[in-house]
Amino acid sequence: MLRDKNLVPLSRQHQHALALCVRLDRALQGGEVDGKAWSEEIRQIFAQEVATHFAAEEKVVFPAAAAFPGLHPLVEELLAEHANLRDLFTRATAATLDVNSLRSFVNQLSSHIRKEERQLFEELQQVMTAAEFTRVGKALEDALADASTSCILPNEATRLRPRT
């Protein structure tokens, strides 16, 4: 289903985070993990985009979704995942994640994003009116005003290299 224009800013941020997941997963598969470099990149993406993204979802999208009884359990699940992901981001930026924890980070973050895109956003587009989406879109615009609008560029140690 085509994404409602009012949710597109969140979906773009989801793409940025998924790109991080793909790059980190490939690095893990290739055994090329510079923990310090990855920690710095994860810190940057959290500071510049993810922290504001989570706050916007929690302030705007989740309350709008929770107004529909059928979505309440999903919202509760997503809130719990945000808490867990915040902890993982904190641990990653403190360079306290080992290779297995970095794999878990990738799996949990990508799974969470897909759940929001494939379940929450799809369901919202089925139950919300155009007027409700317009209100959500305006509130999201305000809530995301401080987020970066560009994707973090990988540094030398986290840039994917062509496979030989």
Tokens describing residue 27: 């690095």
Q: Is residue 152 part of a domain?
A: no
Which residue type is seen at 39?
A: S
Q: Which residues of 113-126 are buried (b: 16+ CB within 10 A; e: fewer)?
A: beebbeebbeebee
pTM: 0.86
pLDDT, residue 149, reads 54
Number of Cβ within 10 Å of residue 33's Cβ equals 19
Q: Which residues of the chain have pLDDT under 50?
A: 150-151, 162-164
Give the ranges where the chain is alpha helix by DSSP (H).
8-30, 35-45, 51-56, 62-66, 72-93, 99-115, 122-127, 130-143
Q: Is residue 74 part of a domain?
A: yes
Q: Is residue 28 part of a domain?
A: yes
Q: Is residue 56 part of a domain?
A: yes
Q: Is residue 48 part of a domain?
A: yes
Tokens describing residue 28: 């893990």
Comparing C-alpha atoms, which of 87, 85, 148 is closest to residue 116?
Answer: 85
Q: Is residue 57 part of a domain?
A: yes
CATH number at residue 98: 1.20.120.520
Q: Is residue 38 part of a domain?
A: yes
Tokens describing residue 114: 């897909």
Interatomic CA distance for residues 36 and 156, integer angstroms: 12
Domain that holds residue 115: 8-143
Q: Is residue 162 part of a domain?
A: no
pLDDT, residue 91, reads 87
Comparing C-alpha atoms, which of 91, 119, 77, 89 is closest to residue 21?
Answer: 89
Q: Show Cβ contacts of residue 2 under 8 Å, excluding neighbours closer than 6 positions.
A: none
Interatomic CA distance for residues 87 and 93, integer angstroms: 10
pLDDT, residue 163, reads 47
Q: How far is CA 123 from CA 22, 83, 95, 115, 119, in A?
A: 26, 23, 37, 11, 6
How many domains are contained in the chain? Answer: 1
